């Protein structure tokens, strides 16, 4: 095809026979496609991006991965059968996730699980798995408890205590918030344990909740935000984004986030796996791509086109992020603009919070000194300078325990992410082998999130 481009060769999944098949990433018709070729079922194409130049810019952001200190599996016999991690995996674990229960008090059409999943991790299994994780990673900076609804685990408090005594600097809990809303003692546990509630929050319109969560929930979500802020319970917002449901309202949600005390905002375009893949609520030919989601989010009045960049530790097709310093009420400075892209990439890859480890801190400090001469003396620039100087002065001479770093980051940094999880139709093994988001299993195995979803849930019917 004239004008078509070929980017890379990979392996995917045939939607008919569910076998691994050769695939390639190509551009055609001003779009980027994952094109799979099955010997029995022919060619199948899945949309990757509607923005060819944007996709090519993202590809340029690839950085080499970091090896973990050790791996669960010493040999490789096939991907993803050898998870892991196995010797072929090209990235360590930036975000470990422990699914501690499959119980849930909602039945979201958009859920990545199916009703058949019944599972509960014991605190003992969790403790042992965490100690394996420390063998792989050394320090465990960040850990997420997930489910189901993890707060429904009858021994939830024990998981928090175990994570804390294992030295996890930042513990986050993915939650729909319903139990937190009605249980002050549980909220107190979050506040005391410095646990971040990663609250599902898909938009500011009940029609969105009806379609994604199966019932109206806006009032509950707004009350939760109010309560979290009044009780100083640290929280972040997590939104599923679906084309034709809330893709037109992503910037409104970002505006809400910037006005709130939430630490971060994560968007997850729907992946057609589990109930989301089998329930028929979401169409396979109506995908919200990463580039399209980013373009919608960047319409926020606090953001600018180009603010979001690929997260360099995973494959550039997986995720994008933007970080902002809080300069003053309603003023945010893009860290990427401030540092310039190469330095920004240095401080954000393979890390959970930029600039708060020693190397990242030095990069940012150098840039502040450099900026002294280049900034004008306009009141705006003075304000920026004063705020950044104050921030770094507060860090000066400090021992950087991971906990202090997170505390400091919380008050001064806001971040926005998009995470484009794969499903059996969009599966690209090239992305999988560089995955840095891993499920921590009871026996100490680490399984990249998308591999876990692929193994458990066959996805939409062909
Ligand atoms: S996904 Fe990674 S850890 Fe799992 S089998 Fe493939 S290369 Fe190995
Ligand atoms: S998406 Fe979360 S809250 Fe909704 S049913 Fe699934 S586990 Fe429960
Ligand atoms: S979980 Fe999936 S989308 Fe996310 S980094 Fe891993 S492979 Fe990429
Ligand atoms: Zn096939």
Minimum CA distance residue for ligand 3 atom 3: 421
CA dist 234 and 413 (Å) reads: 13
Residue 185 lies in a domain: yes
Residue 383 lies in a domain: no
What pLDDT, on a 0 to 100 scale, did the predictor assign at position 286?
78
> Domain range holding 434?
95-306+421-456
Q: Are residues 177 and 40 in the same domain?
A: no
User: Helix, strand, or coil here: 90?
Assistant: coil
Q: Which one has a higher pLDDT value, 327 or 396?
A: 327
Residue 382 lies in a domain: no
Q: Are residues 119 and 190 in the same domain?
A: yes
Average pLDDT value for residue range 48-61: 89
The percent of residues above 90 in pLDDT, for the chain, comes to 58
Q: Are residues 160 and 292 in the same domain?
A: yes
State the distance from the centre of ligand 3 to the C-alpha of 244, rounded, in angstroms. Answer: 24
Ligand 3 pocket, residue 447 CB under 6 Å: no
Which ligand has its closest atom nearest to the C-alpha of 108? 2
Least confident of 98-102, 178-182, 199-203, 283-287: 283-287
Q: Are residues 126 and 266 in the same domain?
A: yes
Name every residue whose Cβ is closer than 8 Å to that of residue 298 and which is 6 or more positions away in sequence.
251, 304, 305, 306, 307, 308
pLDDT higher than threshold 60 for residue 248: yes
Nearest to 120 by CA among 145, 85, 95, 140: 145
Q: Are residues 54 and 198 in the same domain?
A: no
Q: Are residues 212 and 278 in the same domain?
A: yes
pLDDT per position as a tens digit, 306-327: 999 888 788 989 999 998 888 8
Residue 391 lies in a domain: no
Ligand 1 pocket, residue 354 CB under 6 Å: no
Q: Are residues 100 and 38 in the same domain?
A: no
- CATH code assigned at 109: 3.20.20.70
Q: Are residues 170 and 37 in the same domain?
A: no
What pLDDT, on a 0 to 100 scale, did the predictor assign at position 328?
79
Q: Out of 105, 114, 176, give the residue to mutate to test ligand 2, the one with the largest number of ligand atoms within 8 Å of its CB.
A: 176
Residue 319 lies in a domain: no
Q: Out of 68, 75, 85, give the residue to mutate to test ligand 1, the one with the largest number of ligand atoms within 8 Å of its CB.
A: 85
pLDDT higher than threshold 50 for residue 460: no
pTM summary value: 0.90
Least confident of 121-125, 160-164, 321-325, 373-377: 373-377
Minimum CA distance residue for ligand 3 atom 1: 449
Average pLDDT value for residue range 383-408: 64
Least confident of 3-7, 353-357, 410-414, 446-450: 353-357
pLDDT interval class at 413 (50, 70, 90): confident
Ligand 1 pocket, residue 65 CB under 6 Å: no
- Structural domain count, the chain: 2
Q: Are residues 177 and 242 in the same domain?
A: yes
Residue 338 lies in a domain: no
Q: Are residues 137 and 260 in the same domain?
A: yes
Q: Are residues 16 and 104 in the same domain?
A: no
Q: Are residues 111 and 235 in the same domain?
A: yes
Which ligand has its closest atom nearest to the C-alpha of 439? 3
pLDDT per position as a tens digit, 189-237: 999 999 999 999 999 999 999 999 999 999 999 999 999 999 999 999 9
pLDDT per position as a tens digit, 105-132: 999 999 988 777 678 999 999 999 999 9
Residue 158 lies in a domain: yes
Ligand 1 pocket, residue 89 CB under 6 Å: yes
Ligand 3 pocket, residue 290 CB under 6 Å: no
pLDDT higher than threshold 80 for residue 370: no
Q: Out of 101, 112, 120, 149, give the residue to mutate to test ligand 2, the one with the largest number of ligand atoms within 8 Å of its CB.
A: 149
CB atoms within 10 A of CB 224: 24
Residue 378 lies in a domain: no
Counting from 1 in the atom list of ligand 1, the atom nearest the Cα of 451 is 1
CA dist 285 and 295 (Å) reads: 20
């Amino acid at each position: 095809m004239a004008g078509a481009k070929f980017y890379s060769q990979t392996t995917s999944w045939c939607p008919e026979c569910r076998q691994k098949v050769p695939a390639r990433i190509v551009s055609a018709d001003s779009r980027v496609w994952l094109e799979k070729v099955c010997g029995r079922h022919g060619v199948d194409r899945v949309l990757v991006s509607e923005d060819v130049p944007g996709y090519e810019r993202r590809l340029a952001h690839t950085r080499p991965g970091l090896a973990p200190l050790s791996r669960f599996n010493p040999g490789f016999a096939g991907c993803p059968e050898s998870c892991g991690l196995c010797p072929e995996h090209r990235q360590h674990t930036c975000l470990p996730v422990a699914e501690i229960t499959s119980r849930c008090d909602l039945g979201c059409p958009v859920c990545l699980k199916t009703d058949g999943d019944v599972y509960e991790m014991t605190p003992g299994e969790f403790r042992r798995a965490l100690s394996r994780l420390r063998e792989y990673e050394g320090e465990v900076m960040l850990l997420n408890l997930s489910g189901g609804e993890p707060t429904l685990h009858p021994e939830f408090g024990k998981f928090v205590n175990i994570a804390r005594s294992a030295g996890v600097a930042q513990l986050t809990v993915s939650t729909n918030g319903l139990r937190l809303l009605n249980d002050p003692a549980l909220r107190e546990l979050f506040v005391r344990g410095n646990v971040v509630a990663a609250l599902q929050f898909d938009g500011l319109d009940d029609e969105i909740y009806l379609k994604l969560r199966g019932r109206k929930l806006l009032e509950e979500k707004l009350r939760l935000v109010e309560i979290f802020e009044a009780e100083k319970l640290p929280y972040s917002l997590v939104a599923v984004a679906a084309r034709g449901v809330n893709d037109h309202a992503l910037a409104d949600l970002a505006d809400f986030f910037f006005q709130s005390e939430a630490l971060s905002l994560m968007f997850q375009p729907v992946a057609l796996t589990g109930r989301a893949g089998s329930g028929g609520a979401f169409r396979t030919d109506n995908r919200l791509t990463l580039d399209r989601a980013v373009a919608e989010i960047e319409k926020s009045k606090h953001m600018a086109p180009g603010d979001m960049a690929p997260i360099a530790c995973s494959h550039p097709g997986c995720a994008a992020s933007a970080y902002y310093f809080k300069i003053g009420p309603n003023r945010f400075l893009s860290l990427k603009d401030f540092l310039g892209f190469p330095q920004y990439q240095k401080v954000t890859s393979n890390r959970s919070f930029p600039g708060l480890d020693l190397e990242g801190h030095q990069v940012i400090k150098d840039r502040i000194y450099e900026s002294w001469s280049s900034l004008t003396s306009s009141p705006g620039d003075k304000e920026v300078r004063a705020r950044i100087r104050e921030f770094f002065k507060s860090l000066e001479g400090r021992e950087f325990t991971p906990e202090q770093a997170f505390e400091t980051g919380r008050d001064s940094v806001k971040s926005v992410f998009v995470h484009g999880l794969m499903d059996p139709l969009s599966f690209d093994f090239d992305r999988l082998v560089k995955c840095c988001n891993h499920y921590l299993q009871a026996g100490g195995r680490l399984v990249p999130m998308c591999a876990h979803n692929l193994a458990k849930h066959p996805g939409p019917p062909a």
